[in-house]
Amino acid sequence: MTSNGDAPATHILDVQNLHVEVGGKEILKGVNLTLRSGELTVLMGPNGSGKSTLAYALMGHPKYKVTAGHAFLDGKDLLTMPVDQRSRAGLFLGFQYPQEVSGLSLSKFLWTTYMQRHTAENADSDQFGKDLKTHLAYLEMDEALLKRSLNEGFSGGEKKRVEVLQMATLTPMFSILDEPDSGLDIDAVRAVGETVAKLHNPGAGILVITHYQRILKYLKPDVVHVMVDGVVALSGGRELAEQLEAKGYDWVRVGIAAAGGN
């Protein structure tokens, strides 16, 4: 879909004053965040700051209870949609801890996800196969993995690569990748980071959640947000990530306290 025949339409995921609790404890305390298609956004923050909570709440995990606020996907109320409808609307979540599924091969799983976005009339199995080989090469993955049960016996790095492979197959409007670099060695971080950069396109938006800036070596984020204590406390460019790497997160908390925040 294009707005003028050649330029992609701008899609927006708008999170407004979102409050979320887990097990009766408030984790998100008024998150405001806007994602736009064509932008690669990075969300950083220490453990327990609420980054993953935001991802799961937007995707509709029942454990995460929204107590206030809104989230709109191109003006539509995302929070009223069932999980499958959120996915069909164009939202994708790459899990931090992918699950194993015995008896379902990776190739069958990827084809099934592909067919969720296509009909028998417009599905192109030949192109699907070509794209799959291209993406496997990007991620430096052995094609033999396609015959194995989804994530069963896969290494941590292979599981994370499979999440990015799913994103490549689905071509979602907005992708949220929850710590795609955690637990990976240097080569795996490079492969994942470079592939995400290659998949980034003007018609879609990507949100990468991470603790560290090491994956940013392979990405060119348009904006970096910092989440601390359940709110987005700071926003900036790549230089903000470099500050965090050098100084940690305590100075952000100090700044919030000085400003009278949480």
pLDDT less than 50: residues of the chain: 1-3
Compute the distance between CA of residue 153 and CA of residue 96 in angstroms, rounded to an integer.
17
pLDDT for the residue 3? 45
Q: Where are the beta strands (DSSP E) in the chain?
A: 12-22, 25-36, 40-44, 64-73, 76-77, 91-94, 101-105, 149-150, 174-178, 205-210, 223-228, 231-236
The β-bridge partners of 149 are: 105
Q: What is the pLDDT of residue 2?
A: 42
Q: For the domain 12-258, what is the CATH superfamily, name and number?
A: P-loop containing nucleotide triphosphate hydrolases (3.40.50.300)
Question: d(Cα 161, Cα 56) in Å, to the nearest integer?
Answer: 20
8 Å CB contact between 50 and 28:
yes
The pLDDT, as a whole number, for residue 51 is: 96
pLDDT digits (tens, 9 = 90+) for 1-21: 444 556 677 899 999 999 999
List beta partners, residue 150: 101
What is the structure's pLDDT at 118? 76
Secondary structure (DSSP) of 38-89: T-EEEEE--TTSSHHHHHHHHHT-TTEEEEEEEEEETTEEGGGS-HHHHHHT
- Return the residue matching tokens 């999170």: 15
Distance CA 196, CA 148 (A): 24
